[in-house]
Structure 1
Amino acid sequence: MTDATAAAHAPHVFDATAANFETEVIQRSLQVPVLVDFWATWCGPCKTLGPILDKLAADYRGAFELAKVDVDKEQELAAAFQIRSVPTMVLVKDGQMLGAIPGALPEGELRKVLEQVGVQPTTNAGEAAVEDVPAAPVDPHEEVMRLRKQIEAEPDKAELKLDLALALLRTGAATEAEQLIDALPANLATDDRAVNARARLGFAALLKDAPPVETLRAAIDANPGDLRARHLLGAHAIVEGNPEAGLQQFMEMLRRDRGYEDGLPRKALIDAFRIIDDEDLVGRYRRQMSSLLLS
């Protein structure tokens, strides 16, 4: 790890500081996961782990970025992430911390950790470019009909039922979509698409017995600290197709009380991020959320 300064000049490896963390780690993680390595010059295991991480960064060719934080020089960052021992690694993806990994793991274990969050080695730029080409838009009603026929032909193929649930949600058929999602096998229940679908269903379920928008707005006008009203008003906005209005309410909840209802403001924001298609809007509010949580 004594070669950290030199390694920071290698592709996909850099030194992270309090000054560049927002741009180089939080904002960068909206495009590619960033593995943050908290280390120290006096730490023996850090000297073992450092070269392994450098090798992985080179092998993965930009599938993730490696940020190195010297805890003695960057005590503010170490405190913000509650680093109690080194080495400790933190994976940041889509503007949020996925979890801390203490200790010097062997290369094989590190590869498994990266695989679990969807990080695979990039083979070449051509393949990456093909993967980034967006699919042509599909009419959800036509997609529902197509998938129903395909499921008739292949009734045991669970992936098709998840595809159907997502298509149904886009047509507003939430009840049938929920039934399909509830019946998914365990390996698909945690699929990103299933998580996205549950987030959509969650916002719709919140409004089942909720007061109308006018009542909620009146409640907030009377008491700006009414976080329950803000949560329901934000859910109304998300469901009705006004995502920024929803994010504004959730962000105001976070500003006023980040610990409300066991972290509900942060959870509401993350659930909304999963289902909003506007990447610029999501990126802007992710950065605001990260700045608040690190302040």
Structure 2
Amino acid sequence: MTDPNRFAGGVVDLGEVKARAEARAQRQAAAGPGGADTESAGAEAVAAFFTVTEENFETEVLRRSIQVPVIVLVGSGRSDVSEELKADLRELAEAGGLQFLVGYVDADATPQIAQALGVRNLPTVLAIGAGRPLANFEGGQPRESLRQWVDAVIEAVGGQLQGLPPGTVQAGAEAAEQDAEPAEDPRLTQATEALNAGDFDAAIAVYDEMLAENPADAEIKQARGTVELLKRLDPANRSTDALQDAEDDPDNVDKQLAGADAEVVAGAPEQAFERLLATMKRTTGDDKARVKDRLLELFALFEPADPRVREARTKLASALF
């Protein structure tokens, strides 16, 4: 991480946009509560966490950073590290009492913003205050280190900024999403109907079509992975109890994979992860690679910030190296 007390010059070129933002903020301050600038009238609801778009970049990042520090995360739904950072930063922001805000840039949906910020690697986190870059880092960070970094940013510049207008309140979670929920894709109904009919391949084909259009859709990825799991455990494809088979033959990799699937379906993912981690220690070569791949598939069925997934990922890293 870069030191929050040191400006990371050159990371962001604000130029004329920053100048316009500062000029507007000064006009608002001069107008006062009873002035002509309607944006300063009345209590304002501010989202502690929001999605950055081309439309709101100037107002919610640059202009807002004149009032409080704005932490910008540039990430991707394809990156587990990005998703973990996103979850941690969101939680810190929503518990932070509007001392700082967090904006998320989806590099897949808005690559032009990531490019404008000079981002080279994902995820990248930048702190912006008074329209200027303050500090940045690339990659993941433990939650406690992340909290300390944010605290250092606030301490370094928070008192030098204007602060939010009196009466500002934190917007509800629904306001943080910026946009209304989109209409449900009718193909989701097709996939559900296929699944209910036991046609796993048809459901997977629907999800594949949707992912071809939006590869970063984490929910569809999870749905597809779930159907793959159910297909593997379909009674039509097996005549024995997967868990009992795994217990009876601990050295059989195929049976351990099936046993882990069954434990996930039974609501015991921790046991599934431990089973596969133990199997990895007993295997080598292609078998070990197969077990690792199945672990990653099962991880993808859960939120990246799920503590069970985090713990298992740490153990997986130890098992690999």
Q: Which has the higher contact order (CA 8 A, sep 6+)?
A: 2
Question: Does the pair score TM above 0.5?
Answer: no
Larger radius of gyration: 2
TM-score, length-scaled by structure 1: 0.45
TM-score, length-scaled by structure 2: 0.42
